[in-house]
Amino acid sequence: MLSLVSSSQPSATSNDEGEARSLIDAVSMCRNIAGRIGAESFSLFFTAVHGEARRLVPVFDETFPGVSPVTRRLSGPDTTDFVRLVSTTTCPLWWRGNGAPTFLDAQARVWTREVAPSLTKQSGIAFPVANDRRRLGAIIFTGNEMKLDEELLCDTHAECFDLFAQVAKLREQECNAQRPMSKRELECLRLTANGLTSDEIATALGLSVHTANQYLTNSTQKLNAMNRIHAVAKALRSGMIA
Amino acid sequence: MAYAAPIVETQDANAPVTSRTGLARFMRRICAEMGAQRYMLVQPSVERGPKSVSIITSNWVFDALEDLGSEGIARIIESGVAVSAGARARPLLAASATFLTAEERRALRDHGHIETHCRRLVADGVNVYALFSSETPGAISGAALSRAHMKCGYALVQFFAATGGRASADPLSERERECLMWVSEGKTTDEVALILGVSSNTVNSYIAHAIQKFRASNRAMAIATAIRSGII
């Protein structure tokens, strides 16, 4: 799985699975989604949280590896209210460009929220997304020729979630070349999260207390954590344990 | 036996979901669309302690709820079968759910939950699980299920906004939450005290209260509970 050679071999099923092996795959998947809703451009963002402040950090757009003016505008400093909204809601947000028509049908409008049109010249729709590891983001499509009904809205949003999860995973793989956790280490972390003490973990797993403690120390180091509780929090947030 | 007989909906399908009856009507509609008979919207309940849930809406028969109990339902949503938005459907088959007791498996089967889809929703930051079951394996359409998943999230946002209730999402005070958040970032009691500008005793007391409210046995478990329920 982790071998570096095997990934260069395109497998016949990879396209059917719709799995992004690189950011380039993800961009073309996003382009397909944009095509289905008639959007001219698209941008994918991570939401960065600094205390109370939120900012959209661009990952890619239709000009990949460049950065489009729309993306630059959306990740700029004067979109604070919009970013706050998009990072706290689950419903898609949309706006109309100058003189552009409403592009959602009546039923789709029930589930979405219209916001002030000052963000982009053209009409746009922002899909808030998140992955299992509580990483937040948004995928934003713009264009004056978009058309969405309820069905397409839901399908598109679901695809956005899937795409975002894959992009977040790619990013994570890039960032942490950490040592993999062993099964025992994960088991000890999971039991710690469930409130067991080292003694109880040792009994549950049939180990000595010292071994249980050693597993926990190892996992704390591997996760680059300050202490056990920090390690449990990191493992939960990164989805290593449920 | 006819489970949910098709109900003629006289209400406008375009109406936003603003009440409990509206939510139930909405759930019946999407169940009919995907071919499911039973639904449940449920959240892990941190107030009532581990392995407990609070049900937002459901058309499960009383006996099924009794037989599974809060614990059985908690086991289903925590078992890892829950699927997030956009992910491929992964049904839970009553016969092969090894994380349930034999009795719970029998209860699911006897009450017509032969196949259950467990979906993880996020409605404006609140974690909710949707369970859709069918008496016929494979009867639930994947495309309709994926759409229903998104719509449930949207409907819950409307429901929470209209009823003002995010149910039992967060029993902690702001200070308790802050303390837990810093502890989860690896800070020691003394460091948290410094960050928040209070004494170490105060920090310890905030954390002790949080542990109590979650009915957790120690700090690690309290942190885990808070992360699992999306509080920190």
End residue of a domain, out of B111, B144, B163: B163
What mean pLDDT is predicted for residues B193-207?
93
Partner-chain contact A195 B228, CB within 8 Å: no
Residue A61 falls within a domain, yes or no? Answer: yes
Contacts of B186 in chain A (CB under 8 A): 225-227, 229-230, 233
Coil/strand/helix, residue B110: helix
* Pairs of CB atoms within 8 A across A/B: 109
Q: What is the pLDDT of residues B125-150, one digit of tens each?
A: 788 999 999 998 888 888 899 999 99
| B217 and B154 within one domain | no
- Tell me, what's the pLDDT at A19? 79
- The alpha-carbon gap from B87 to the nearest alpha carbon of chain A, in Å, equals 6
Q: Suggest the residue from A13, A88, A90 to mutate for an interface test with chain B (most B CBs closer than 10 A).
A: A90
Could you give the angle at which helices B219-228 and B174-184 cross, rounded to 10 degrees? 100
Q: Work out the pLDDT band at A178, boundaries 50, 70, 90.
A: low
B138, B163, B188 - which closes a domain: B163
Instruction: Evaluate if residue B3 carries a pLDDT over 80.
Output: no
* Token pair belonging to A7: 């990934």
Mutation target among B26, B30, B84, B154 for the A interface, most CBs of A within 10 A: B154
User: Structurally, how many domains does chain B consist of?
Assistant: 2
Q: Give me the residue from A129, A159, A193 closest to B221, CB to CB.
A: A193
- Separation between Cα atoms, residue B94 and residue B111, nearest integer Å: 10
Overall domain count for chain A: 2
Rounded to an integer, the average pLDDT of A106-124 is: 88
Residue A14 within a domain: no
B120 at A interface, C-beta within 8 A: yes
User: Quick check: bond before A58 cis, omega within 30?
Assistant: no
Could you tell me if A203 and A60 are in contact, meaning their C-beta atoms sit under 8 angstroms apart? no
Q: Which of A91, A134, A165 sits opposite B154 (nearest CB)?
A: A91
A9 pLDDT tier (thresholds 50, 70, 90): very low
pLDDT band at A223 (very low <50, low <70, confident <90, very high): confident
Q: Is the pLDDT of residue A137 over 60?
A: yes
Chain B residues 46-65 within an 8 A CB cutoff of chain A: 50
On whether both A34 and A154 belong to a single domain, the answer is yes
Whether A4 is covered by a domain: the verdict is no
Longest alpha-carbon distance in chain A = 72
Coil vs helix vs strand at B40: strand
Contacts of B151 in chain A (CB under 8 A): 111, 150, 154
Distance from B187 to chain A by nearest Cα, in Å? 8
- Distance, in angstroms, between A126 CA and closest chain B CA? 14
The CATH number given to whatever domain includes residue B86 is 3.30.450.40
CA nearest neighbour of B45 among B92, B78, B84: B78
Mean pLDDT for A1-29 is 58
Residue B1 in this model has a pLDDT that exceeds 50: no
- In tens, the pLDDT along B52-65 reads 888 999 999 999 99
Tokens of B136: 């016929």
B196/B152 same-domain check:
no
Angle A228-237/B219-228 helices, nearest 10 degrees? Answer: 20
- pTM, entire model: 0.74
SS3 B50: coil
> Which residue among B118, B143, B163 closes a domain?
B163
Residue numbers in A near B216 (CB within 8 A): 195
How many angstroms separate the CA atoms of A75 and A126, rounded?
13
CA B164/CA B162 separation, integer angstroms: 6
Mean pLDDT over residues B154-177, rounded?
A: 80
Judge if B138 and B200 occupy the same domain. Answer: no
Q: Is residue B5 part of a domain?
A: no
Q: Which domain holds residue B35?
A: 20-163
B8 within a domain of the structure (yes/no): no
**In sequence order, what are the residues at sequence separation of 6 or more whose Cβ sits closer than 8 angstroms to the Cβ of residue A241?**
A186, A189, A190, A193, A232, A235
pLDDT at B232: 76
Mean pLDDT within A172-187: 77
SS3 track for chain A = CCCCCHHHCCCCCHHHHCCCCCHHHHHHHHHHHHHHHCCCEEEEEEEEEECCEEEEEEEEECCCCCCCHHHHHHCCHHHHHHHHHHHHCCCCEEECCCCCCCCECHHHHHHCEECCCCCCCCCEEEEEEECCCCCEEEEEEECCCCCECHHHHHHHHHHHHHHHHHHHHHHHHHHCCCCCCCHHHHHHHHHHHCCCCHHHHHHHHCCCHHHHHHHHHHHHHHCCCCCHHHHHHHHHHCCCCC
Average pLDDT over residues B195-212: 93
- Note whether B146 contacts A158, CB cutoff 8 Å: yes
Burial of A66 (0-12, 13-18, 19+ CB in 10 A): exposed
Chain A residues lying within 8 Å of B15, measured CB to CB = 110
A residues 162..191 contacting B (CB < 8 A): 162-165
Does B132 lie in the same domain as B55? Answer: yes
B63-100 pLDDT tens trace: 999 999 888 998 888 877 888 888 888 888 888 888 88
The domain that contains B224 carries what CATH number? 1.10.10.10
Tell me, yes or no, whether A106 and A190 share the same domain: no
Q: State the residue for tokens 């006289």.
A: B10
Is A165–B84 a contact, with Cβ atoms under 8 angstroms apart? yes
B192 touches chain A (CB under 8 A): no
Which residue among A150, A157, A229 places its CB closest to the CB of B223?
A: A229
Query: What percent of chain A stands above pLDDT 70?
Result: 88
- For β-strands B53-58 and A93-95, DSSP reports them as unpaired
Same domain for A157 and A131? yes
What mean pLDDT do residues B20-36 have? Answer: 92
- Predicted complex: ipTM over 0.90: no
Contacts of A107 in chain B (CB under 8 A): 13-14
Where residue A119 sits, what CATH number does that domain have? 3.30.450.40
Last residue of a domain, one of A148, A175, A202: A175
Q: What's phi and psi for B135, nearest 5 deg?
A: -85, -10
What pLDDT does A213 receive? Answer: 94
Residue A2 located in a structural domain = no
Which among A225, A226, A233 has CB closest to B227? Answer: A233
The answer on B183 and B156 residing in a single domain is no
Together in a domain, A87 and A34: yes
CB nearest A106 (choices: B14, B125, B224): B14
Indicate whether A5 belongs to any domain: no
In B, which residues are within 8 Å of A111 by CB distance? 151, 154-155
Span of A212-216, B34-38, B126-130, B204-208 with lowest mean pLDDT: B126-130
Q: List b or e across B97-108, with b for residues whose CB sees 16 or more CB atoms inside 10 angstroms.
A: beebeeebbebb
**How many Å apart are CA B82 and CA A239, to the nearest integer?**
13
Q: What is the mean pLDDT of residues B200-228?
A: 90
Which of these three, A175, A210, A229, is where a domain ends? Answer: A175
- Whose CA is closest to A126, among A173, A77, A71, A175? A71
Residue scoring higher pLDDT (A27 or A12): A27
Domain co-membership, B88 together with B200: no
Using a CB–CB cutoff of 8 Å, tell me whether B127 touches chain A: no
pLDDT class of A171 with cuts at 50, 70, 90: confident
C-alpha span between B134 and B36 (Å, rounded): 5
pLDDT in tens, A31-63: 999 999 999 999 999 887 765 677 888 889 988
Angle between helices B219-228 and B200-213 (to 10 degrees): 60
Tell me if A73 sits within 8 A of A119, measured CB to CB. Answer: yes
Instruction: Return the structure tokens found at B131.
Output: 């369970």
Together in a domain, B212 and B144: no
Instruction: For residues B152 and B217, state if they share a domain.
Output: no
> The domain that contains A215 carries what CATH number?
1.10.10.10
The residue among A159 and A178 whose pLDDT is bigger is A159
- Quote the domain boundaries for residue A107: 19-175
Are A27 and A101 members of one domain? yes
- As a whole number, the mean pLDDT across chain B is 85
H-assigned helices in B39-110: 62-78, 102-110
User: Distance between CA B106 and CA B84 in Å, rounded?
Assistant: 27
Nearest to A214 by CA among A200, A231, A198, A235: A198
Q: Judge if B87 and B53 occupy the same domain.
A: yes
Min distance B84 CA to chain A CA atoms (Å)? 7
